[in-house]
C-alpha cells in the first residue's frame, strides 16, 4: 500500500531540524503537513482543528492549504472551553459532537492537540461521566461512518510545556524530539514498515515478553495490518478503511488487531498516566482474550472505577502496535512512552472495529510495554525494545530451524 515516495522540496534538509530554532519554523512544517503528508489538492475542504497554544502552526497550515488551492476551515479551542465541556456541562446535555458532521463533509482533517494542560483540564472528571461521553459517541455511529466517508486525516503532535512539566521532563529536549520526530526519514521508516507488515500479515502467532514480566501470546487471524509512515500517498487516499487514509506526525507505526479470544498470558505495563495522573505498576492476566486480575500499584482506584463501569467487551484483547520512529525516545520512568518510538510495543483491549476487528465495544484501553521482545511465529522482530531488521530476523529464524 505505502511505497517509497518523494518528499516535498527541501524536506530532506530538515533532518537536522532537532535544533530548538526549528520549533519556530512553522511555515516549513506546514509545507510538510499539507503537501507531503496530507497531499491537499485544489478544491478540497480542509478542516484544521487544535488548541489556542497551537495557533501559530494552525495558521501556517491554513495558509499553505490556500496556496495549494484548498479551502481551509479552522476550529480553535482553549483549555478553559475544553474543561467546561468535560466538567461543567450538565450531564443531561452530553451528546456526540455535532462538529463530527462538519468533519465528515470535509475532504481532509488536519488535527493538532486541542488541550495544552491535560492534567488541569481533566481534574475532577469521574469515570462515570466519561462513560456517558463514550456512550453518546458510540450511539452516534460516527466511527462506522468514517470508513464510508471520503475523509483522510493527519494527526500532528505539538510540544506542550505543561505535558513536559507534568511528567517532569526537560522541555527543551522534549521539544527537540517532537520536531525531530516530525522530520524523520519517512522513506526508511516506510521501507521497514512494509517488511514488518508482510511478516504480520502472513503470520499466525505473536508472543510478547519483557523484563518486567510480560509473557503474552495471541493469534493474528489474517486481519488487516496498517502502516503509519507519516505520508498519505495517492494510493492510500483511495483505500476503503479510514486507518489506511490516516497518518500521524511524528509517524512511524505498524499496527493491527488479533483474534479477540486468543490472548493468553501475563501483562506487565510500563508506567503511564490515567486522566493526567500517574499510573504505575499495572499487571493483569489474559485468559481466552479476557483481561482479569488487573491491578496497579499507583493509580489503581481510577482503573477499578473504569473497570466497574464497562462490560466485558472493553476488557477483551483486541489490538497491538509497534513503533518505528528512531527520533522518538521513551522516558519510561516518567511515564512517557510514545507509541511511535522505535521498538515501543502497545497492546490494547476494547473496541477494535475500525482496525478491522470484530469487537464493537464503545471504548478501550491500551498499555505500553517498553524493552519488549516480539516474536512472530518464532521470528524475533523486536528484541529488548530494539527493532530487528527483517533480513536479520529471517536469517536468525532459518539458522534456528537448521539447528533443530
What's the confidence (pLDDT) of residue 119? 87
Residue 367: per-residue pLDDT: 96
Is 3 inside a domain boundary? Answer: no
CB 34 within 8 A of CB 68: yes
Tell me, yes or no, whether 100 lies in a domain: yes
Give pLDDT, residue 402: 37
Report the pLDDT value the prediction gives residue 16, as an integer from 0 to 100. Answer: 34
Residue 276 phi, psi (nearest 5)? 80, 0
Is residue 109 assigned to a domain?
yes
Secondary structure (3-state) at 177: helix
pLDDT at 169: 93
The pLDDT tens digits along the chain (404 residues) read: 333 323 332 333 333 333 333 446 899 999 999 999 999 999 999 999 999 999 999 999 999 999 999 999 999 999 999 999 999 999 999 998 888 889 999 999 999 999 999 889 988 998 899 889 888 888 888 878 888 899 999 999 999 999 899 888 999 999 999 999 999 999 999 999 999 999 999 999 999 999 999 999 999 988 899 999 999 999 999 998 899 999 999 999 999 999 999 999 999 999 998 877 889 999 999 999 999 999 999 999 999 998 898 888 889 998 999 999 999 999 998 999 999 999 999 999 998 887 888 888 778 899 999 999 999 999 999 999 999 975 444 534 434 543 45
Kindly report the CATH number assigned to the domain that includes residue 155.
3.40.1830.10
Residue 338 domain flag:
yes
Count the Cβ atoms, other than its own, within 10 Å of residue 289. 21
**Exposed/middle/buried for 66, CB within 10 Å: 0-12, 13-18, 19+?**
middle
Q: Which three cell numbers mark 139?
A: 450511539
218 within some domain? yes
The predicted structure's pLDDT at residue 131 = 87
In three-state secondary structure terms, 305 is helix
Domain that holds residue 80: 11-403
Q: Is residue 96 domain-resident?
A: yes
Would you say residue 187 lies in a domain?
yes
Distance between start and end Cα atoms, the chain: 36
What pLDDT, on the 0 to 100 scale, is given for residue 173?
A: 94
Give the chain's domain count: 1
Asked if residue 190 lies in contact with residue 358, where contact means CB atoms within 8 angstroms, the answer is: no
Longest dimension (CA), the chain: 66
Coil, strand or helix: which one is 272? Answer: strand
300: left (phi over 0), alpha (psi -120 to 50) or beta: alpha
Is the residue at 41 inside a domain?
A: yes
Task: Report the pLDDT value the prediction gives residue 4, as an integer from 0 to 100.
Answer: 32
pLDDT of residue 390: 59
Amino acid at each position: 500500500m505505502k511505497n517509497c515516495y518523494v518528499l516535498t522540496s527541501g524536506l530532506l534538509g530538515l533532518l537536522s531540524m532537532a535544533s530548538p530554532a526549528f520549533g519556530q519554523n512553522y511555515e516549513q512544517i506546514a509545507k510538510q503537513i499539507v503537501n507531503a503528508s496530507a497531499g491537499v489538492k485544489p478544491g478540497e475542504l480542509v478542516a484544521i482543528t487544535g488548541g489556542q497554544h497551537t495557533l501559530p502552526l494552525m495558521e501556517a497550515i491554513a495558509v499553505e492549504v490556500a496556496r495549494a488551492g484548498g479551502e481551509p476551515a479552522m476550529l480553535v479551542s482553549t483549555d478553559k472551553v475544553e474543561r467546561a465541556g468535560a466538567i461543567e456541562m450538565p450531564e443531561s446535555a452530553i451528546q456526540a459532537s455535532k462538529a463530527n458532521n462538519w468533519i465528515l463533509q470535509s475532504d481532509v482533517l488536519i488535527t493538532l492537540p486541542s488541550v495544552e494542560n491535560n492534567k488541569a483540564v481533566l481534574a475532577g472528571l469521574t469515570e462515570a461521566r466519561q462513560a456517558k461521553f463514550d456512550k453518546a459517541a458510540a450511539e452516534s455511529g460516527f466511527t462506522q461512518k468514517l470508513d464510508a466517508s471520503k475523509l483522510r486525516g493527519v494527526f500532528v503532535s505539538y510540544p506542550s510545556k505543561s505535558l513536559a512539566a507534568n511528567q517532569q521532563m526537560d522541555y527543551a529536549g522534549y521539544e527537540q524530539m517532537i520536531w525531530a520526530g516530525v522530520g524523520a526519514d519517512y522513506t526508511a521508516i516506510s521501507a521497514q514498515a512494509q517488511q514488518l507488515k508482510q511478516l504480520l500479515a502472513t503470520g499466525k502467532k505473536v508472543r510478547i515478553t519483557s523484563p518486567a514480566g510480560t509473557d503474552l501470546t495471541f493469534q493474528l487471524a489474517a486481519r488487516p495490518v496498517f502502516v503509519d509512515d507519516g505520508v498519505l500517498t495517492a494510493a492510500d487516499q483511495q483505500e476503503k478503511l479510514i486507518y489506511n487514509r490516516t497518518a500521524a506526525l511524528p509517524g512511524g507505526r505498524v499496527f493491527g488487531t488479533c483474534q479477540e479470544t486468543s490472548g493468553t498470558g501475563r501483562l506487565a505495563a510500563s508506567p503511564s498516566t490515567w486522566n493526567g495522573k500517574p499510573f504505575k505498576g499495572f499487571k493483569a492476566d489474559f485468559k481466552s482474550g479476557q483481561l482479569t486480575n488487573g491491578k496497579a500499584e499507583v493509580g489503581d482506584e481510577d482503573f477499578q472505577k473504569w473497570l466497574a463501569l464497562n462490560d466485558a467487551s472493553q476488557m477483551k484483547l483486541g489490538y497491538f502496535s509497534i513503533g518505528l520512529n528512531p527520533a522518538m525516545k521513551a522516558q519510561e520512568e516518567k511515564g512517557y512512552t510514545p507509541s511511535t518510538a522505535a521498538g515501543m510495543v502497545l497492546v490494547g483491549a476494547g473496541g477494535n472495529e475500525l482496525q478491522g476487528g470484530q469487537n464493537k465495544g464503545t471504548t478501550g484501553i491500551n498499555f505500553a510495554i517498553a524493552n519488549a521482545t516480539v516474536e512472530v511465529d518464532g521470528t524475533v522482530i523486536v528484541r529488548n525494545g530494539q527493532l530487528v531488521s527483517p533480513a536479520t530476523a529471517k536469517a536468525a529464524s532459518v539458522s534456528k530451524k537448521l539447528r533443530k
